[in-house]
Chains A and B, each alone.
Chain A
Amino acid sequence: MNEEYGKIIGITHSIKRKARSLFSEVPLLGWLFGMLIAVILERYVGEALAESLGLSKIPMLFGVVMMLKNPLMIPSTVLYLFTIFVLPISVVARLISGPANRVAAKLLDLPILISVIIHIGLLYAVLYLWSEASAYRVLTLKLTLIAVILTLSLNVVNGYMGEFSCSHPGFMALGAYAASVFTVVLFVDDKLFGHALLPAALAPFMFPIALIIGGIVAAFGALVIAIPSFRTRGDYLAIISLAFMFIVKSMIENLEVVGGPRGLSSQPDLASLPTVFIWTVACIWVTNNFVRSTMGKALNAVRDDEVAANAMTVNTRRTKITAFLFAAFWAGVAGGLFAHVLRYVNPGTFGLQKLAEVLAMVYFGGLNSVYGSIVGGVSLSMLGEALRPLEIFKWIIIPLLLILIMIYRPTGLVAFKEFNVGKLVMPKNKSDQRKSDGAASG
């Protein structure tokens, strides 16, 4: 028994090692290209393949829903996923790794920004083509990207700074309502706010302003929490921020101007996929810049030993308040995007359940890590969506998963890992790496 078990482990290990060596030289560029081929493939032959496999339509979220609804469909769904995604991606990525490495190396001769933009462009193309298959995919994708912003910004406080903040749904609500009021007043004929003040054609240009206003309003809310919480040492933040979340919620419920508990609707359709994508990229970029600077590292110093940080000239109070307002700003932006994606918000959305979701994403993905927040935000919102047919059982499976993570990786999946863009876009084979050495150190 034991021997057999050992053998199996041995085999899986050697397969893993082989797979790793097979793909170890594939640069990010190669993977993105492989994915591009896969989504194009799905676009042209997806439907036909699904039909021939006996599936009613192409699996929207990697077939989880189909498999859960009808276990008999598992083989065909898996076959579909393998033919459309796994096989093309791995084959293309492997075949193209040589040229991809050379291109990646060449790109690094130019300023690194160009290489980064090309990678992001490719990623966008992949997401766009994938999501085009249905409105459902577009919606899920947008909400996933928003979840990444929320997770990352909360990670700044709960991970990087090591405090425990519970007010993120509150900040989100402030951002959502502030941005909504702004766009509805300006661009929509509405029962609550009367005629539109500006022509609708201007709306897309004003939308960034709406989001920034949402962020700033949220940051003001954060200031209300920060001033009493960071005055003295001690764990007041968790309680004050939780109270804040409830206060914001009941305040909006009682504010008839914005629809009270019924909510606020008729937001103009401004949160297109590229808009949400760009804001998410901006959030990741700015946050990653921040946490990798010495000023941002001060958050870690405050978390690990505040007295020492203070004695090393760090203005700990200002550091904490800044980080907290920064996080709130992005939560506000996320709220603004959220409101314009759904084009309807009500105060009930921004309660304990939302808090639980965001906290789960932060702790699942990994503390103190931009990677972690991306992983946590994407995986849990996709999972949450995919497990929807399970209804109530979803709320057993997800917490169970969290508990397992907490046991085996107490700080989350990819905690304490630097998100080094320069390394990410580098060629992955030795010879091309050497050529572009130094160029990518940024």
Chain B
Amino acid sequence: MALLRVEKMSHEFGGLRAVNNYSLEIEKGQIRGLIGPNGAGKTTIFNLITGIYKPTEGEIYLEGKKITGLPPNQIASHGLGRTFQNMQLWRHMSVLEHVKMARYSRITYGLFGAFFGTAKRQREEEEIEEMAYSLLKMVGIAHLAGQIILNLPYGAQRRVEIARALATEPKVLFLDEPTAGMNPEELIQMMEIVRKVHKNLGLAIFLIEHRLKVVMELCEIIQTLNFGQVIAEGTPEEIQNDPKVIDAYLGKGTVI
């Protein structure tokens, strides 16, 4: 049984059919890629699976359980963690607080603990903090833990997003263009982080990328999307040589 299965999902914005009859199967530990020209509907697919939008049609299953239509926070606690294309961080909070926050649904000290600062809360907050530190170490920004987001360079902010998503203990990690706007050096570092996270935590990764070099290197299977529709699916080699992909995507002058 696939870890995450999407069946014939479609979505309309007003009259625009942004996603059409989309299906997906991700196995445990797999790295999958999703490519396609601007406006193809990639981010919309992420938003649909993670519950930000409700699909007009179709079903989504995580480990066989239907999660279609659940609110995003529940889907996230079921095991779908994500980052955002344009980074959605909390501008007044510190790096450490970001990562701790993603443990929200696992907090058991409750309002009583929050109001009265019980020993249980103290203990739990310390545990969360320890875990947050280990994740920050994994993505290489433990030394920035106390910094406010606004003071961080761009690359570090991207890493905060990944560490934060990891703190939700995802079974599938959704990365929406994690290398957008990065220089070649940062790009290589980011690829290393993705590999490391994948190896250390053994989770499945679903990756949206504009730069083909990245998807080709990281992913086992790649889907190509155009106008909300999958036009090709296969291994990097297959995708690279698929005339439809070349036509829809590469033909438009994108640099490989």
Chain A residues with CB under 8 Å of chain B are 286, 289-290, 293-298, 300-301, 303-305, 307-316, 322, 368, 416, 442
Contact = CB atoms under 8 A, between A and B. Distances in A.
B116 A289 contact: yes
A297 B115 contact: no
Given A295-B104, A295-B111, A311-B84, 14 more contacts: A286-B115, A293-B113, A294-B100, A294-B101, A295-B109, A305-B90, A307-B84, A309-B101, A311-B72, A312-B102, A312-B168, A313-B104, A314-B73, A416-B92
A304 B77 CA distance: 21
Residue among B52, B82, B92, B107 having the largest count of chain A Cβ atoms under 10 Å = B92
A304 B111 contact: no
Interface string B85-129: 000111111000100111111110101011111000110010010
Contacts of A310: 52, 71-73, 76
A294 B82 contact: no
A316 B73 contact: yes
Contacts of B72: 307, 310-311
B92 A304 contact: yes
A305 B88 contact: yes
Contacts of A305: 88-90
Contact of B89 (A296, A297, A308, A313): A308
A404 to B, nearest CB: 24
Contacts of B122: 442
Size category, B interface: 35 or more
10 contacts: A286-B116, A294-B97, A294-B104, A297-B101, A303-B92, A304-B91, A305-B89, A310-B71, A310-B72, A312-B164
Interface of B: 50, 52, 71-73, 76-77, 82, 84, 88-93, 97, 100-107, 109, 111, 113-117, 121-122, 125, 128, 164-165, 167-168
Chain B interface, >50% SS class: helix
B70 to A, nearest CB: 11
Contacts of B93: 297, 300-301, 304
Given A304-B91, A308-B89, A294 B107 contact: yes
Given A297-B93, A304-B90, A313 B73 contact: yes
A310 B115 CA distance: 22
Given A312-B168, A313-B168, A298 B113 contact: no
A311 B76 contact: yes
Contacts of A289: 114-117
Pick the 4 closest A-B CB pairs, nearest first. A304-B90, A313-B105, A308-B88, A312-B102
Nearest to B94: A297
B151 to A, nearest CB: 13
B97 A297 contact: yes
B164 A294 contact: no
A315 B165 CA distance: 16
Residue among B107, B117, B165 having the largest count of chain A Cβ atoms under 10 Å = B117
Nearest to B75: A311
A315 B114 contact: no
Contacts of B52: 307, 310-311
B90 A294 contact: no
Given A304-B90, A307-B88, A298 B73 contact: no
B114 A300 contact: no
Contacts of B92: 300, 303-304, 368, 416
A416 B93 CA distance: 10
A311 B78 CA distance: 11
Contacts of B101: 294, 297-298, 301, 309, 312, 314
A301 B90 contact: yes
Contact of A313 (B84, B102, B109, B116): B102
